[in-house]
Every structure is written in structure tokens, then in C-alpha cells.
Structure 1
Amino acid sequence: MLRFLGLVLFGALIGGAAGLLSTAFVSAVLWLNDWLLISPRSRMMFDHPGVLMAATLLVPATGGLVVGLLHRAIPEQRPHTPADVIAAVQTRAGRLPARAGGLSALSAIVSLGSGASVGQYGPLVHLGATLGSLGARLLRLGRSDDNITIACGVASAIACAFNAPLAGIVFAHEVVLRHYALRAFAPVAAAAIVGHVIATNVLERGALFHVGDTVLPRPWEFAAFLVIGALGALVAGGYMRAILATGQLANRLPVPRELRPAMAGALLGLVALQVPDILGMGQETLRFATIAGAFGAGELVLVLVLKLLATALCLGMGFSGGVFSPALVIGTLFGALCGSLVAQLSGAQLDTFVFYAVCGMVAVTAPVIGAPLTTLLIVFELTGSYALTTAALASVTLASPIAAQLFGRSLFDIQLERRGLDLSAGRGRALLRRTAVAELKSSDCVTLPPGTTVGDAIFALGQARHGEAFLVDDHGHYVGCVSLAELEAARENGEHRKRLGDIPESPRPRLSPATSLWDAMAELQEVSGEALPLVDEQGRLLGVVTETSIARAYLQSSEELRREEHGSG
């Protein structure tokens, strides 16, 4: 009990530290936006058009150059993102490195401060997670407690960024931990509450968007919200694919990696001369998009398309930042466009316009981050409107399943799958795929040269009490496998002097040291025997992996997962 209470207290401390760091992060970005003439407020108050034009062109490009140089100090040569947080928790492969986390956060501040079309919530999530992992490492906590403290940092960051503690709690469980064990709930909740208190008392800034008194939607409008959800899934898919495709294209460019963000910044600045709405996180654009008549239909289409392409360009070319904020903006613009079209087709005064904007926002955002419950809670905590949340639920009902079927659970999961970590079938399978059978190698087997006679082989197997022998030539190369039953059958046929190399070999799968435990289990389904040979790239027999060791490793992995989620660490 004392250990659990200590973990709750430590979670609150992590939440406080993550909240303060999130506050400093946001404040630094806002200060840079004003000082570098990126924010709409600073641009409107500045009365030197020539300087403003120069800043629009030079600031994103210069910021991209700084970002590229910062990434050279990170081992992977790229910023760390929430996908790295998910991988660290789901595979138990290692804790989050503090140096890479700090450099990624600094890179994100420069990216956001110089006007890159990226988001702030992804970097905040990674920053909070890194802080939680660092705290667990300093206190020498176990792997289970490490994952919980990572989730505490994540929950605090979301609670602080959105002023939404419930959303922070659910996001940490829904996206990072991916389980709702009671042992993790209390520390994560404590962290989210502390982060929320810091946000409301220290970080004084406006809400993401304001919603006044609204009328209730007409019954037929819920059908429109469902359609927005289905179409929003396609927009989300296009957004994710654009980011991934741009990243692939960037890797084929004959340009040094550190110069790619500068190229993206220069192109972004050129487009921003005509459409400055694509600069930065786009919170002002989001707020205006929830107001009926603030944008015309043509303007909505233009800004939506350019914002999507600008974000894909910035993230794909190497700027550091998140996908959450741009998805909110793109989704809100999409929902506002749908509301405008419904108003034109119906010919009625659409006094529920904000419902369409919010439905579009959640329809695009939920599939991108893979967190439908979190997006709904953000809407509810920001607006306090049950009617608006219910309308958003109608859109999410179709958006998330359609996007999951067509594209994947989230952009993070797609990114991890491309790195070789497939979480689509759950954490248990992912862990088995990450465990190499080399760890299960055994030398307890009978090896015989191919020239051994059947009679001698039967005697050798009887002495060793094994049911099969592995044939190895003079150079140590694996030749084949024979079972005791095959040898007994040969002896009964009068072939006791026949050489083992002349006996037809039964098909037997070969494992390499890199073969995963999951693949080894699949191979065992097609074979009957004691063990599978472990062979290197040159064909030499390294040892065997027994059927019992594979089964034991599977049971041990399952038990470790159970203890990690529900036990004492």
C-alpha cells in the first residue's frame, strides 16, 4: 500500500514538473511568434510591409536551418515523437533518452516559433513522457513503474495544453499505455490534475475556441454529422498519407538531411506571402472557422488544402512538431465547409454552424491520433456542451472505424509499422515479434555427421535420450534432421547400415538468430519434433531451439505483461 501511495505522489510530482515545462514551452513559442512576426496579432500591428515580407520569407527558412543542425546531434538524425513514446512503452525495449528528448523539444520550439506548419501537442506529449522516464530512471523504478510515470508525464502535458484533465487521463491510457489497469489510473489522474491546476493558474491564455449558447440541432442534422464523420475519415487518411509520402520523397532528394527543413521553410514562406493562415499552429484560423460567415466556401477550400500540404511539407522534410494541432485546424475547416454547403443546399439560416465545424474537427483528428474518446472529452471539457459532444460522437462513430479499416489505427501506428513494429494485433504479439529466438538457443541436442549409419545413430540417440538427430558436415554446416521414428523404420526395412545422408529428409524449418519468437511459434505449427535448428547466414548450426523453450518463453512473456499492468512491477 505504501509503495502504491508513493507512486501516486511521484505521479503528482511528475505532473507538476511536466506542467511547468509545458507552460515554459508554450510561452517560448508564443514569444518567438510575436518577436519573429509570425503570429497574426504581431503581423497586424506591424506597419512596415517590406520588413514583414522579408520576415515571412526568411524566418521559416532560417528556422529550418537551425532545426536541421539540431537534428544532427540526435542519434537517429530526426526528432523524437509520440510514436517513440508508444514504442518504448509497448515493447519494453528501453526508456526514453533524456538528451534526445531535450533536443527534440528545443527543435520543436524553433520549428513552431519560426512559423512551421506543425503542432505543439506532439512535442509536449514527448517532453512529458521523457520527464516521466527520467524520473523513473533516477529512482531506479521497475519497468512497470517506468511506463506509468511516462503516462503521468503525457497526461499532465495534455491536461495543461488543453485545460482538459479528463482528456489527459484518457489519452495516456488510450494511446500510450493501451490498457486501463486500476494500478495506473491513480498516478495518471494525479498527474493530470496537477497539470490542469498549473495550466489554469500559471498559463493564462485563451481557450482553443469559444462556443456561446447554441440551439439544439434538428434531427436530420445528425445524419449530416454521420456523413461528415465518413468523409472526415477520408480527409484524415489523405492527411496522413501526404505526410508519409512527403517523408519518402524527401529521402530520395539529393539534398543533405540537415538542409531539408530549410528548403521546406523557404517554400512555406513563399506560399505564406499570399496565404499567411498556413503559418504556425493556426489557432486563430481554427477559432474563425467556428464562426459562421468568417470564411467563404472558396476560402475554406483554399486554406484547408494549403494547410494540409504545408503540414505534410514541413513534417515530411524534417521540421519538428506534432500532427494534432494541424489536424484540429484542417478538421475544423472541413467541418465549416460542410456546414456552408448544407446552408446553401437547404437555403436555411444555419444557426448550428459551430456543430458542423466541431464535428469536422473530431472526424479528422480522432483517426489521426487514434484516440476517439480523447477527442470527445476535449470537446466536452472545452465547451461544457453536452449537445455539442453528442453531435461530435455521431461523427466519430463512423470516422474512426472507417479510417482504421482503410489506413490504420493512427498515424503513430503506421509510422511504427514502417519501422518494423506492428501493434495492430495488440501488445502481446508485438512483444513476441520483438523477441529473437537467439535468446533461447540450446546446445542440448544430438549432432551426427551424414556418414553415420542408421544403427549407430539409433544407438547414439538412445544413449542421449533424444528423439531426433541433426546432421552436420565436417565444416559445421547444417545438412538435415532425422527422427528416431524414421531411423527405426529404416532398420525394420533392413537398412541399418544405410548412411543418414542417404535417408530422405523430412521438411524441417530453419531458424536464424534474428527469427522472432512469434515466427518460431508459427513454424512449430507445421512440424512435429523436439526442436528446430538454429542456423547462421553461412549455414552453420549454432544450436537448437526446443519446443518447450518456445512455449515457456511465450507463457513468461504473457505473465510479465500481466504483472506489469496489474502487479507490483
Structure 2
Amino acid sequence: MASAARVTPSTTVQRIITVLTVGFVIGAVTAVAAIAFVEAVLWLNDLLLVSAYAKVQSGLSPLALLVITLAVPIAGGAVVSFIVFRLAPIHRPAGPADAILAVQLQKPMPDTRSGLIVTLGALGSLGVGASVGQYGPMVFLGAVIGGMVEKLRLAVPNVNAIAIACGVAASISAAFNAPIAGLVFAHEAILRHYSMQSFAPVTIASTVGYVVANVLFERAPVFVVQTGVSLKAPEFAVFALMGLLCGAVSILYMRTLLAGARIGGRIKLVPEARGAVAGLVVGLCALWLPEITGLGQYTLRFATIEGAFAASEMAMILVGKIVLTAVCIGMGFVGGVFSPALIIGAMLGGLVWTGLTALGIEGLAAFTVYVISAMMAVTSPVIGAPLTAILIVFELTRSYELSIASMVVVVFSNVVAFRFFGRSLFDIQLLLRGCDLSQGRAEAQLSGLPVRDYAAKQAPIFEVGSGQAAVRAELDAHGWSEGYAVDAEGLFQGYLRIIDLDASSSAPVAEILRPAQLVFDADTSVRDAMRLLEDFVGDAIPIVDHDSQRLVGVVTEAAIVRAYLDIVAKLRSEENAGL
């Protein structure tokens, strides 16, 4: 009753105004920042003669252009690696996975300085033509902007997670001119629930992002497809099979990215040298197959045009994009994985349609249907957001039939990827960092709670030389039926039971010690502790430091269960919170 009394109508109104204002402000700021990011990339592409148009307009000799094509990404790779691995306090790249981690485990985002420096590294990577995406950095930038709300210490439950989701939604909305997709992506991939407390401000942020990008700045969509789509029932079987193929290619892409990161980490070179090597590879690819370098915006637009690429060219772009993106991200460039996945999927869809027509199959849907469907089917398992992918198709094309075709391909692709890889590339990246989200938010949060934080404040710990009578009296006074013994150096020796103690004896407890049934390491998580407690019977479990073997404390079974119940109650409250 006391808790309910504190939440007065005026407090409720203040909270509503606060969260809606947060959504509006973050939406506007993120949209402007995202647009500025994209414009800065394009400006750098022209300034550094990365874009084909800038090269043509430069009037330089072929030899000079060759030198520039090689030198710019080499120097850029070294500079980006220096910026990210030397100047950023976190000394590593960051991206959407960090936003997911912050929201799911209720932790702060990387500090603002690290976030801005990493974003600057992504800007440099894209500016010199690295094969990385722009949407990952934009999402991360939106999350960083949202994460700044934590410093305001607003008196609203879950406001930090909501603010991060607002930044993410606004960045997607501004990037794709797709406010519904931005809204759904924030809930589907970042928050992973649909409480009204978060739904309202995230909706406002996504809408404001769309208005800023589409009305104030008149940004053009990533790609525009306007075509009449006629689908026949038998073709849905083809879409299902193509979905399975897209899932396999998506898994190949993600596993190649992870392999590139592993190999890059094993190369014994300073970060600047690794970045320069990656830049050299980018430069050579720009001379051989420029379609696989840089943002790929023109490659993506031409991909929707039948006949723009021959089948052999589409196959080379598909394979080349996978390999080059893995090299760039694994060797020191910073950027997203969404844009490359779009190109890979577009090439795959074009190859499927070309192959089917070569086999003499007639009555197929338009070329663009296969390209767009495969594009989203390859991309959606990477980001773990199938609904977002379908909505992007609908919002960009306004075609119900094309959205239905994409839905079938996306669903089958995600079934394959989820079964043989995982929910998303971001979840696997977090798993490699020790955060397993596959069993849900509660399990993940419990995995981050060490049992030592729940140790009893007044534990019955005695030295092995203590007399039995004194120990018996102490246990009786505090209501414990067991005690725990250490030597003079604090090393754990075993436990004793009150029924074994002689109330009239001064003999040391060392004579009646028993080996512990169960011992927790100081870093054992509450999640692991609950599993280990399945067959345990007793008052408490000793916590022993693995290295020193010193007794840190003891934790009761009730304390561990209470920690679990507290986490579950907190998450249920968040997921069902209203305004």
C-alpha cells in the first residue's frame, strides 16, 4: 500500500511527459546525427576519390588514380585502427551488440567518448571505401545518444533502456524512411518486449526520425521499386526453397565474419599494420571488382534492374562481398554488416531468378521480386529481425504482393538460420563475450550475478582451533545448524554440524570437520548455482576463491532463490509496465 501511495497521479503525469519528451528529443537528435553521418561518408568518398563519379570528374591520369585507389584505403586502415584501438577507452570496435547488451542486462552503454570515437572510426572506414555497412554504425550512434539519458538520472523506471531503444528506432527510421520498421526493430532486436511504457516513446522517436529525414531533409529512400507484382500459387513453393537457400547463405556470411575476426585476432601485428593490410586488400579489390567495395549503394540500385549484371558477375559480387567484408571487419576496419548482407542477398536473388529462367520456367514473378525477397531473407537472420525486414519491404515498395513474397522467403530463411546458427550475429558475438541470451533475459542476467554478492553478512565461520562448546553456543545463538572452518590463513578446511558438537568439550572443531558437499567459486553465477543446488541439502554453501582457496563467505539456498525471484519480478514488471 505504501508503494502504491507514492505513485500519485501527478507522478504518473510527470513520468508520461518525461518518457514522451525523451522519445521526441532523442528521435530528432538521432535523425540529424544519422543524416550527418551518411552525408559525411559521401563527402569523404568524393574528397578521397573513392566514388567512381569523383574519379571520372578528377581529370587525373590513370597512374595517379591507381596510386590513389591503393593509397587511400591503406592509409585509412592504419588511421582507423589507431583511432579505435589506441584512442577509444574501450580499445575495440562497438556496434548494435553493445546496445543489446546494455538493454538486456541493464548495463550502461560504452562511455560517450568511446562511442563517438568508434563512430568516427566507422566514418573513416566507410569514407575510404571499406566493405562495411553504414546502418550498424548509425544504430550504434543512436544507442549512444540514447545512452546519454542515463546521466540525467531521471526518476522513471527503465528509462535508460527506453532511451537506447528510441535512438535505435530513430536511426532505422531515418536511414530507410521506414518508421514502422524502426519501431519494430527496436522492440524486436533491442528491447525484445512490447510494454506500453516503451512502445509510446519509441513510436514517437521513430516517427520524429522519419519526419526529420523525409520532410525536413527530403532524404531519398535506399532503393525504390515500383512494379506490378503478380504471384501464382505454385511460385510460393519456389519462394520457400529460395528461403532455405538464403538461410544457408546467411549462415555462410555470418560464419565467415566470425572466422575473419578470429583470424584477424591471431595475426601478430600492431593494429595499425593490420588495418593497412586490410586497406591494401580493399584497394586491390577496387581495381579488380569495385562493386564489392564501399557502401555499395549503386551496386544495390543496379541489382534491382534485370540485365544490369550477368550471372557470372552476380556470383563474383556475392562471393567477393562475403570475403572482403570478413577481411575488413576482422583486420581493423569498423562498420556494420547490414549493408553488405543486402548486396549479398540481392545477388543471390538475381542468380535464382536467372537460373530458373535459364531452365525454361515460365510465368515467374518479376526479377525485382526475387531480388528484394532474397535481399531481406539473407539480411534478417544477421540482425535477428524478420518482422523488421518484411516491414522495410512494405514501407519502401508499398506493394502488398511483394511483401507477401518476401514474408515467405524471410520465414524459411530464419528457420534455417535459427536452427543451425542462432538468433542473430549479434547474439553470437555476445555469446563469445560471455553473455548467453539464448535462454532469455532472466537467465542472461542471472549469469552476470556472482554468488559472492549474496553471501550471508553474519556467517558462522570459525578457526579450526576453536573449542566445540564455544562454537555450539555461537550456533545456538544465531540459529544456524552448520558452521564453516578456516585455518589461521583463512583457507577453507571443511564444515561442521551442530549435532556433532559436544556442548561440554573444549576440544577443537578440527576433530569433527566434514568435507563440503558443495563449494562455489567466488565467480560462480547465480544461474550456475541454481543448477548445482539441485541435490544439495544443508544450511549454506561455502564460497571459496579459486586461486587462493580462501573462504570468501557462505551463501544460503534461500538467498540464491530470492535473487532469481527478484530478477524475474523485475523483468516482468518492465515487460508489462504502462505509462
TM-score range, shorter chain: over 0.9
Partner of 1:471: 485
Q: 1:320 is matched by which residue type in structure 2?
A: V
Alignment of 1:152-551 (within 5 A): 152-348=166-362, 350-450=364-464, 461-484=475-498, 487=500, 501=510, 505=514, 507-536=516-545, 537-551=547-561
- Residues 14 and 135 of structure 1 are in contact (CA less than 8 Å); yes or no, is this contact kept in structure 2? no
Match of 1:51 in 2: 64
1:18 to 19, 25, 30: 30
Name which of structure 1's ranges 81-90 and 199-208 shifts more when overlaid on structure 2. 199-208
Q: Which is worse superposed, 34-43 or 73-82? A: 34-43
CA displacement, residues 220-275 of structure 1 (integer Å, 9 cap, x when unaligned): 22111111111111111111111111111111112102321221011111122111
Which sits farther off after the overlay, 208-217 or 36-45? 36-45
> Partner letter of residue 514 of structure 2?
E
| Structure-1 residue corresponding to 2:73 | 60
Could you state the TM-score of these two structures normalised by the residue count of structure 2?
Answer: 0.92
Residues 34-59 of structure 1: per-residue CA shift (max 9 Å, x gap)? 22222233345455433332222111
Q: Classify 1:408/1:290 alpha carbon distance in 2 versus 1 (closer, same or farther; 3 Å).
A: same
The equivalent position to 2:565 in structure 1, one of 555, 559, 566, is 555
| Inter-partner Cα distance in structure 2 for 1:44 and 1:483 | 86
1:371-391 residue CA offsets vs partner (Å, 9 max, x unmatched): 000111111101001111101
Does structure 1 conserve the Cα–Cα contact (< 8 Å) formed by 2:229 and 2:402? no
Residue 101 of structure 2 aligns with an amino acid whose one-letter code is A
3-state SS of the aligned residue for 2:521? coil
Give me the whole-angstrom Cα distance separating, in 2, the residues matched to 1:511 and 1:167: 46
Quick one: distance in 2 between partners of 1:141 and 1:317? 43
Question: Does the CA contact (< 8 Å) of 2:108 and 2:147 recur in 1?
Answer: no
Task: Letter of the 1:519 partner, please give it.
Answer: D
Take 1:501 and 1:354, find their aligned partners in 2: how far apart are those partners?
80
Measure the CA separation in 2 of the matches of 1:459 and 1:321: 65
Q: Distance in 2 between matches of 1:541 and 1:79?
A: 38
* Partner of residue 160 from structure 2, selected from 143, 146, 171: 146
The one of 88, 96, 114 aligned to 1:74: 88
Q: Structure 1, residues 375-411: CA drift from partner, whole Å, max 9, x if none?
A: 1111110100111110111111111121112111111
Counterpart AA for 2:551:
L
Q: In terms of mean alpha carbon deviation, does 368-377 or 558-567 score higher?
A: 558-567
* Structure-2 residue corresponding to 1:2: 14
Partners of 2:215 and 2:421 in 1: CA distance: 40
Does the aligned pair in 2 maintain the 1:532–1:546 contact within 8 Å? Answer: yes
Give the partner amino acid of 1:554: Y
Q: Does the aligned pair in 1 maintain the 2:45–2:128 contact within 8 Å?
A: yes
1:134 partner SS: helix
- In 2, are the aligned partners of 1:40 and 1:284 still within 8 Å (CA)? no
Q: Is the 8 A contact 1:156 1:192 kept in 2?
A: yes
Q: Bigger shift: 282-291 or 328-337? A: 282-291
**1:78–1:318 Cα contact (<8 Å) kept:** no
What root-mean-square deviation, in Å, do the aligned CA atoms of Structure 1 and Structure 2 show? 2.3
Relative distance call for 1:511 and 1:419 in structure 2 (3 A) is same
Structure 1 Cα separation of the partners of residues 578 and 498 of structure 2: 46
Letter in 2 for 1:274: W
Secondary structure, aligned partner of 1:267 = helix
CA distance, structure 1, for counterparts of residue 459 and residue 190 of structure 2? 43
Write the distance in 2 (CA, Å) between the matches of 1:119 and 1:60: 16
1:398/1:504 Cα in 2 relative to 1: closer, same or farther (>3 Å)? farther
Asked whether the 8 Å contact 1:242–1:309 carries over to 2, the reply is yes
CA distance in 2, matches of 1:227, 1:44: 42
Equivalent AA in structure 1 for residue 64 of structure 2: V
- Per-residue deviation at 1:84? 0.8
Is the CA contact 1:228–1:359 (under 8 Å) kept in the aligned structure 2? no
AA aligned to 1:54 is: V
Task: Tell me, in whole angstroms, the C-alpha distance in 2 between the residues paired with 1:20 and 1:459.
Answer: 70
What is residue 6 of structure 2 aligned with on the other side? Answer: none
Deviation (angstroms), 1:104: 1.4
What secondary structure does 1:212 align onto? coil
How much has 1:143 moved relative to structure 2?
Answer: 6.0
SS at match of 1:346: coil
Letter in 2 for 1:367: P
Name the aligned partner's letter for residue 546 of structure 1.
Answer: T
Task: Write the letter of the residue equivalent to 2:452.
Answer: A
Q: Is contact 2:322–2:344 with CA below 8 Å preserved after alignment?
A: yes
Tell me the distance in 2 between the aligned counterparts of 1:477 and 1:316.
45
Paired letter, 2:78: L
Q: 1:552 to 1:351 in 2, by over 3 A?
A: closer
Contact 2:165 2:190 in 1 (8 A): yes
Asked if the contact 2:491–2:551 (Cα under 8 Å) also holds between the matched residues in 1, the reply is yes
CA apart distance, 1:455: 7.4
Q: Deviations over 1:9-68 (max 9, x none)?
A: 221111001111111111111111122222233345455433332222111112112201
Encode CA deviations 1:167-219: one digit per residue, 9 max, x unaligned: 00001111111111111111001111111011112444432222222231222
TM-score (norm 1): 0.93
C-alpha change, 1:139 and 1:483, in structure 2 (3 Å) is closer
Q: Distance in 1 between matches of 2:574 and 2:209?
A: 25
